[in-house]
Amino acid sequence: MQQIRKDIQRLAARHHPDTVSLRRHLHQHPELSYQEKQTGRFIAARLNDWGINYEHGIAENGVVALIRGEKEGGGVVALRADMDALPITEANEVPYRSKNEGVMHACGHDVHTASLLGAARILQELRASFGGTVKLLFQPAEEKLPGGASIMIREGALENPRPEAIFGQHVHPPLEVGKIGLRPGPYMASADELYLTVRGKGGHAALPHEFVDPVLISAHILTALQQIVSRNARPTTPSVLSFGHIRSDGGATNVIPNAVHLKGTFRTFDEEWRFEAHRRMQQLVQQLAEGMGGSAALRIEVGYPALQNNEPLTLQARQWAVDYLGASQVVDLPIRMTAEDFAYYSQVMPACFYRLGTGNAARGITSPIHTNTFDVDEASLEVGAGLMAWLALSRLAS
């Protein structure tokens, strides 16, 4: 494996300028979730250029490719990259600035896709050096429910052949370029969307005894819902309940509205507790609103499950990363309350989702993801492409 590692590092460095060009093209032409038609065609064209077999149109715009090693033996391993962008207007003044107004690769999916294309090119050139099969998943719609991963799985992306393990990576601006981070076991939370409507009877605010105030009911519900987490969740189970949107139907300083609408999110790591919390929230909302003379309806849109990194696989990946990058470049990560639809893959096979360092404080590249100034140090693409190829071949060799 030492020679293969050197070959991967050499090819990752040689192809780095091209990988950067791929990323910049993708960054200039971002597409929203479920609209990635040109992105899918661009990926397919590059795979054609390199003689890699693929199927285009999984989950509508997704691409699934296979690279078969020419040596005897070996299993099947999968590598995944997401490819959709966000509805954000880019503020960066760079040559590769988004050309699609109001759409931006502000979560690094351009980096993920370019890295996987780079890994594909490396693996295709080294196929005489390994046995087994690498399956490449270019996945649409990570940013929007129900999530492209769930659709890819439903449409058979993990079959014929079925991988024995899967790896995915995500940009991480707080981590300096050249480093990667991993965490075995529970890593990212489930994420459910909450849509609450509280109804009363509006009227003149100076005559509250004649009406039912949905604003006051909403305030009580918001406060009471927090006890769902603080007094029902186990202290050892991370859980977050937050509401980020509230508006009334009309209303003014002296006008009580007829209804109030709220939007929020509930996140946790325990699937059993997750749905128990849903039941408790529904019960509390309805009973409290009725007890105050109004009514309420809570719609819970079930989102992505919690992401569980397979412990043996992730511990192996950590050692392989140390072999590839050096011990000082591999760090341990804390859990995150953010969510990722890669979690669906982690439910059906051993999975490892890790973070790729893309920050460079000295150059001012520090903006968080999902902001209009997000960017990456493009040196990360050499690590991103090479490490994915290395993890795949290390897994096949093991």
Question: Could you report the per-residue pLDDT of 173-200, keeping only the tens digit for each?
Answer: 999 999 999 999 999 999 999 999 999 9
Residues 199-227 have pLDDT tens digits of 999 999 999 999 999 999 999 999 999 99
Q: Is 35 exposed, middle or buried (0-12, 13-18, 19+ CB in 10 A)?
A: middle
Q: Looking at residue 78, what is its pLDDT?
A: 98
Q: Looking at residue 90, what is its pLDDT?
A: 98
Mean pLDDT of 1-19: 97
Give the chain's mean pLDDT. Answer: 97
**74 pLDDT higher than 90:** no
Q: What is the CATH number of domain 2-188+305-397?
A: 3.40.630.10
Q: Give Rg (Cα) of the chain.
A: 24
Helix axes 380-397, 2-14, angle to 10 degrees: 150
Mean pLDDT of 53-72: 97
CA 24 – CA 18 distance, rounded (Å): 10
Mean pLDDT of 40-67: 98
What's the CA angle centered on 301, arms 250 and 370, to 5 degrees?
Answer: 80
Residues 272-310 have pLDDT tens digits of 999 999 999 999 999 999 999 999 999 999 999 999 999
Residues 369-381 have pLDDT tens digits of 999 999 999 999 9
Sign of torsion, CA 278 279 282 288? negative
Q: pTM to 2 decimals?
A: 0.93
Listed residue (62, 76, 66) closest to 149, CA to CA: 62
Q: Is 352 exposed, middle or buried (0-12, 13-18, 19+ CB in 10 A)?
A: buried
Q: Looking at residue 71, what is its pLDDT?
A: 95
Q: Where are the domains of the chain?
A: 2-188+305-397, 192-301
- What is the CATH topology of the domain spanning 192-301? Alpha-Beta Plaits (3.30.70)
Residues 36-52 have pLDDT tens digits of 999 999 999 999 999 99
